[in-house]
Amino acid sequence: MSMTFAGHVAVVTGAGAGIGRAAALAFAAQGLKVVVADLDTAGGVGTAEQIMAAGGTAVFMQCDVTLEADVKQLMAETINLYGRLDYAFNNAGIEIEHGRLADGTQDEFDAIMGVNVKGVWLCMKYQLPLMLAQGGGAIVNTASVAGLGAAPKMSIYSASKHAVIGLTRSAAIEYARKHIRVNAVCPAVIDTDMFRRAYELDPRKADYAAAVHPVGRIGTVEEVASAVLYLCSDGAAFTTGHALAVDGGAMAI
């Protein structure tokens, strides 16, 4: 796989923890300058500090991806600081609901759709013109295996991730001849704080989560980060509009 990242710039949203932090660290390890974006200041600063402690280049910028002004400022400050935007990993998201569709609330719907869908749309809205101006780039959005099929008792979350894949594929076709590639990663159950919050009250659910993956375990944030780097790399130069399952074989069943 060709990895020609040195000197390039990446923006990672939701980089204060979990998959976003792992991706930010992985980008930095390849020599990229990384803009660490998150609503959580402590988490975002922590990620940037980890990168710098390892000899990398990073800056934290606070951003609420549901607010157009925040996203616009994030991209403008990235250009002001580094002069370019080569890669974007639009990873910010919020966790699933746990109930049947008819038991969901409008507040849940608005919150989940606001971050998971509007946030991705806003980020691409302001990233794409920057990449057009410099002649190319690559974007990866975080979807989910819940966006590839049915997800009982998480219908709103599932709908939001189906929407992310739709945005990804549409943007990929629109910008394919402009040297901008747009793909998505679709993780299954990954060992994150979000996962631990969901299952901390019932360890049996954690055992079940491992069992539903044919490989017999849940995934790691580093494994998802590796998929993100691949989709951004020259090794994926002929890959766009793709929703890559990182799922231990779950979608093959």
Active site residues: 157
CB atoms within 10 A of CB 153: 14
Q: Strand, coil or helix: what is 15?
A: coil
The answer to whether the beta carbons of residues 116 and 157 sit under 8 Å apart is yes
170 φ, ψ (degrees, to nearest 5)? -65, -45
Structure tokens at 246: 């990182």
CA gyration radius, the chain: 17
The angle at the Cα of 92, spanning 87 to 93, to the nearest 5 degrees, equals: 145
The backbone region for 153, taken as left when phi is positive above 0, alpha when psi lies in -120 to 50, beta otherwise, is left
Nearest Cα to Cα of residue 137 among 165, 175, 186, 173:
175
Q: Strand, coil or helix: what is 141?
A: strand
CA pseudo-torsion sign 239, 244, 249, 253: negative
Place of tokens 């060709």: 2
Q: Write the CB contacts of 186 (distance below 8 Å, at least 6 apart in sequence).
A: 143, 144, 145, 147, 148, 161, 165, 243, 244, 245, 246, 247, 251
